[in-house]
Structure 1
C-alpha cells in the first residue's frame, strides 16, 4: 500500500470469509441464467474473489474462474465489473476497510500508529497471497483505501510531521508491515542451522537465545517470534519517525 496480536490491538480476529454474502460458492447452486442484482453484487464478487485466491492463489483468480465460483455466466459478472483490475480494486478496498485507523484523532500519535500497524499486519497475514498484488496496486478510485490513507495522513499532519515526510513514512511502515505479515506464517524453525550449527556459532547462538525468550518469566518480553520481531521493529520505526516531527 497493517491469536494474540489482534487481542493486543483490541480487535476481533479477521476471517477470510467474514461477512460473506449469500450467493457465493458453497451455497446451494442456483438455476442457470442471469442472477438478480440482489444475488450478484460487488460485495458477493469481493468475497468470492477472496475465497478463490485463498484456495488457488492469485494466479487462480481469472474472470472465468470467478464466474464459476459465483455460479453465474461470465456475461453476468461483466455487468458488475469490467475487468480483473476492477475485481482487485474491490478486494483491496475490502481489506483496507478492515484496518483499524480509529486511533488517529482520538489517541496519541504513537498509540495510533501501533493500533494501525498491528491491525494492518494481522489483516494481511490472513491474505498473504495478495500482498505482492496489493502492495503495488494503484489506489485510484478505491474509496475505502483512500479513506484509510486520508485518516492516517491527517493523523501524521496533526502530530506535526512536515508534509513532505508523511508519504515516505507511511510507505516505509507499509513495507515493514507487509514483510511482517509473511513472517506470521513462516515456520518457527525457519532459522535452524541444522548440521551447519558449528560453522555458524554466532547466528546459531542468537537464534537459540531468541527462542528462549518465548518462555520468559512474567513481566519480560515474550510471545511468538513473529510478534516479538514485529514489536521491536515497529517501536524502532516509531521512535525514528518521531524524531522528525516538528
Structure 2
C-alpha cells in the first residue's frame, strides 16, 4: 500500500473590505487546523452540526476569527470533505494476488470511515454543492482499473465499486458505530440474527433456528467485517468464472 503523505499548502485568505483585522483575535489558526476540526465535527455528528459558531467554539474563538482563513461555511464543508478523502490511501494493487487487493481496499476504506463515520454522508445530511478535490477521482479510477485488470467487465467493476461503499459504510454505521461506543456490559444486539431480548419478548413466535444461532460463538466487529469481505470475494470469483478468467493464474 502506498503511503499517502499530506502536504499543506493552506494560507490565510486576504482580508477583504469589512473583514476583521487579523490581530483582532488572539487565536492561532490555519486552514489546516480548521479543516481537521471541521472533519472531526462532521465525522462524529454530521454536517448539519458543522456551523461557524460550533467550529469557532472548538477553538475558543469567535466566528469572525475564522473568516481570516475561510470565506464562508461552504468552504469549510469543502475542506472537511477534501480532508476526509485524503486519508484514503492509494493502494498499489497486485493483480496476481487480487484477493489481497480486495481485502486491502475494504480494510483501508473501513479505517477511514470508522475514524469519521458520518463524514461520508455529505449528500444525506444536507443538500450542498461539495467540491471534494481530485482525490476521489484517483481512488475510483484506480480500483476500477484493478477490477478490469483481473478480468471483470466494466459494468461489473462499477457494480463492485458501488458495493464497496455500501458494504463498508453500512457496516461502519450499523456495526462499528455501535461496538465502538457501547459500554463493556451493554448487551450485544449485532452478532446474533435476532437478539435474545427480542426472542424472549415474543415467545409465541416459533424461532428454533434463531435460538440455535444464539449458541454459536459470539463475534467481534473485526470477525463480522471479515464475513463481509469473504462474501464479496466469493461474488468476485463467481464473476471471473462467468467471464472465463478464473483459474488462469495457475495455468
Global fold match (TM > 0.5): yes
The match for 1:237 among 228, 232, 236 is: 232
CA RMSD of aligned residues (A): 3.6
The match for 1:185 among 162, 165, 177 is: 177
| CA separation of 1:71 and 1:196: change in aligned 2, threshold 3 A | closer
Q: Give the unaligned 5+ runs of structure 2.
A: 11-21, 180-186, 244-251
TM-score by length of 2: 0.65
Deviations, residues 42-91 of structure 1 (Å, cap 9, x unaligned): x2121111233356554321123223434555455345444444333332
Kept in 2, the 8 Å contact 1:125–1:185? The answer is yes
- Residue matched to 1:163: 154
Kept in 2, the 8 Å contact 1:124–1:131? The answer is yes
Instruction: Tell me the distance in 2 between the aligned counterparts of 1:55 and 1:31.
Output: 32
Runs (4+) of structure 1 exceeding 6 A deviation are 134-139
TM-score by length of 1: 0.66
- Residue matched to 1:115: 104
Query: Larger Rg: 1 or 2?
Result: 2
Instruction: Tell me the distance in 2 between the aligned counterparts of 1:181 and 1:55.
Output: 12
- Residue matched to 1:45: 34
Displacement after TM superposition at 1:175 (Å)? 0.3
Instruction: Tell me the distance in 2 between the aligned counterparts of 1:173 and 1:165.
Output: 12
- Residue matched to 2:215: 209
- Residue matched to 1:27: none
- Residue matched to 1:6: none
Instruction: Tell me the distance in 1 between the aligned counterparts of 2:155 and 2:116.
Output: 31
